Amino acid sequence: MLWMAGVEEPRDFAKADDLMYILEEGTSKLGWRPGVAECVEKPPHAGFTVYAVTPGGADNVAGYFKGSGLE
């Protein structure tokens, strides 16, 4: 991703420890984008089922829901 963003030497810019921090700490603190709650809540009321909202792991996604007040 860094290389795609224009960082010519991504492995010099960020090390394995940086990656682990982002994966273990940073993503767990992410929240939903504005409007996601409505995107999850409205379809069931119209007869649809939401099966996926992100490609993240189940524990992370459950944390996103909990942190946003959605069950």
The tens digit of pLDDT for each residue in 23-69 reads: 777 666 777 778 877 887 888 889 998 777 677 778 877 877 777 77
Name the residue with higher pLDDT: 8 or 71.
8
In a 10 Å sphere around its CB, with 0-12 CB exposed, 13-18 middle and 19+ buried, how is residue 15 labelled?
A: exposed
Would you state the pLDDT for residue 67? 74
Give the residue with greater pLDDT, 70 vs 35.
35
Quick one: average pLDDT of 4-22?
90
Residues 6+ apart with CB under 8 A from 39: 50, 53
Residue pair 40/53 in contact by the 8 Å Cβ criterion = yes
Q: How far is C-alpha 23 from the geometric centre of its chain's CA atoms?
A: 10
- How high is the pLDDT of residue 13? 92
Other Cβ atoms within 10 Å of 26 Cβ, number: 12
The pTM for the full model equals 0.44
Separation between Cα atoms, residue 65 and residue 34, nearest integer Å: 13
